[in-house]
Structure 1
Amino acid sequence: MVERIDSSANKKVKLAASLHSRKHRDKEGLFIAEGIRLVEMVAASGWAVRYGFYTPELLAQARGKELCAKLAEQGVTLYEVPAPVYQKASATDTPQGILVVAEQKKSRFAELAAAENPIYVVLDGVQDPGNAGTIIRTADAVGANGVILLKGSVDVFSDKTVRSTMGSLFHLPVCPDVSAEDLQAFLTSQNLTIYATALDASAKPHFEQDFRQGCAIVFGNEGNGVSAELLQAAVKTYIPMYGEAESLNVGVSAAVVLYEAVRQRKF
């Protein structure tokens, strides 16, 4: 029998809608994953899902029907809802007809797997959800050992950040809300070199750095760059530019530097 919710005043609908606010996400320890591809990746990840909503139109697609069946096999309660009720819980302009309320999963330093010459990606005050999500996705693509977000960075569980990660959030360790002091203590304990992107007279081009050793690479705030506290402890690096552009988007910068690390390590 299909479980159905027809009112946007339903408690589960109201809870899902509230999760578009960071205050409520933090309070509940929950977040929204929306869209067929993202929900497929949640289902494959083993992350805990409280419940989900889908529209009747979703079941007309073989992929949507299969996804609902998989979630049901995992014990997830799914509610069929009409479009207006779904829209109340949704955060997208063009909904794909399925979303789930999932439990946040935050990695801690003690949980990071030991690895030889690991590479960590650090976000220092990165504010834009699209940039943060892109960097997490790129870190996943290059095989980084984890992403660390310092206090003052964007909420990794915001709707836009989750979507921008394209699912990489679900299979890469991500440590949010870390203090600069705790970061430096961790990196020192692991004997890791800190690199930071900076336009500084003492900085060297990224292709002159040795990223083959265990390291953490810090990417800073879109307007102000990496904080002075971290710059003091870091090896400074920059990406040479030869045209008229003044700067690169931080997401692009991360891709350029991280793939130089891949070139050094793999080729």
Structure 2
Amino acid sequence: MNDQSRDGASGRVGQVKEVTSLANPIIKDIKALSQKKARDESRSFIAEGLKLVIDALDLGWTIRTLIYAKTAKEKPAVQQAAARAVARGALVLEVSEKVLVSLTRRDNPQSVVGVFEQRFLPLAACRPKLEETYVALDRVRDPGNLGTIIRTADAAGAAGVILVGETTDPYALETVRATMGSVFAVPVARATAAEFVAWHRATRAQVVATHLAGAKDYREIDYRGHPVVLLMGNEQAGLPDDLAADADALARIPQAGRADSLNLAIATGLMLFEARRHLLTLERRR
């Protein structure tokens, strides 16, 4: 591993570490972030792609390491992002393609990878305001579902996502990929079921839960005039009785076919865009 000086006046970063060996200890530490234990201990995670790295930097996320391929096609943009990372105290690595493949576990990896500090919003900091919408997910297990829901929440203009109980890791590589960068735009909070119930009673937001016992069509609920929390149950078990009993309304999405349920991400998307339909219409008119 060699340090290389670069000319800052030409837009290049001041110092880059060149890495070609898979045995490099820094590379080993980054590879370890594929495991939840390592992510939890370091409070770090991996995000792939130049656009995601730039978006994260624009939104003020703390970057710890920026890795880019020697063969990166977007070299000027990569160098600019690297300069921004160095200015924030991050380490910058220029690596071979085999090193990048080992980090992302993909045959055709993105040319840029960032290691960022995790960011969880304290539940107490979630103070739902008029016309804001939150999504609360009870024990969501599938990384793809969680990532898609975070992306959908971003698209619908939701204020945040609350993870209730033991859930899949929002900073797992598969989850971050599924968010398509929305992980940097949507606040994520965590809570136990008891903490969520206490928070609901303190905030007085309207909790609308999807449930097989729901007596009301989700399209007939009035989502206007108050903060709304959409409470979605576990993929297999649905909502437990205590959370269902705490909801202000139990909603059901009508179905006509033989399927007995919807994919969690699809159901959450339907609920989100219905709950915010009046707001999205107003925004389009402006």
TM-score by length of 1: 0.92
Name the stretch that deviates more: 184-193 or 75-84.
Answer: 75-84
Aligned with 1:207 (options 216, 219, 229):
219
Q: For residue 181 of structure 1, report the CA deviation from its aligned partner.
A: 0.8
- Equivalent residue for 2:197? 184
Unaligned 5+ segments in structure 1 are none
- Equivalent residue for 2:44? 30
Using a 3 Å threshold, how does the CA distance of structure 1 residues 136 and 241 change in structure 2: closer, same or farther?
same
Q: For residue 254 of structure 1, report the CA deviation from its aligned partner.
A: 0.8
Aligned with 1:126 (options 140, 143, 151):
140
Per-residue deviation, residues 175-218 of structure 1 (Å, max 9, x unmatched): 03x10111111111111121111111x42110111112222111
Q: Is the 8 A contact 1:91 1:159 kept in 2?
A: no
State percent identity of aligned pairs: 35
Q: For residue 71 of structure 1, report the CA deviation from its aligned partner.
A: 3.0
Using a 3 Å threshold, how does the CA distance of structure 1 residues 108 and 91 change in structure 2: closer, same or farther?
farther
Aligned with 1:82 (options 72, 96, 100):
96
Q: Secondary structure at the match of 1:4?
A: strand
Using a 3 Å threshold, how does the CA distance of structure 1 residues 171 and 59 change in structure 2: closer, same or farther?
same
Larger-Rg structure: 2
Name the stretch that deviates more: 155-164 or 45-54.
Answer: 45-54
- Equivalent residue for 2:187? 173
Q: Is the 8 A contact 1:58 1:65 kept in 2?
A: no
Residue type matched to 1:5 in 2?
A: V
Please list, as runs of the form range in 1=range in 2, the aligned pairs for 1:24-103 lying within 5 A after superposition.
24-59=38-73, 61-103=75-117
Name the stretch that deviates more: 116-125 or 25-34.
Answer: 116-125
Unaligned 5+ segments in structure 2 are 6-15, 282-286
Q: Is the 8 A contact 2:63 2:88 kept in 1?
A: no
Aligned with 2:230 (options 192, 217, 240):
217
The 2-side partners of 1:133 and 1:114 are apart by 22
TM-score by length of 2: 0.86
The 1-side partners of 2:159 and 2:236 are apart by 27
- Equivalent residue for 2:161? 147
Q: Secondary structure at the match of 1:122?
A: strand
Q: Secondary structure at the match of 2:17?
A: coil
Q: For residue 120 of structure 1, report the CA deviation from its aligned partner.
A: 1.1
Q: Is the 8 A contact 1:20 1:91 kept in 2?
A: no
Q: For residue 32 of structure 1, report the CA deviation from its aligned partner.
A: 0.7
- Equivalent residue for 1:240? 254
The 1-side partners of 2:107 and 2:203 are apart by 45
- Equivalent residue for 2:172? 158
The 1-side partners of 2:278 and 2:217 are apart by 14
Residue type matched to 1:254 in 2?
A: T
Q: For residue 245 of structure 1, report the CA deviation from its aligned partner.
A: 3.2
Per-residue deviation, residues 85-138 of structure 1 (Å, max 9, x unmatched): 222222334211211111101101233356224321001111111111111111
Aligned length in residues: 265
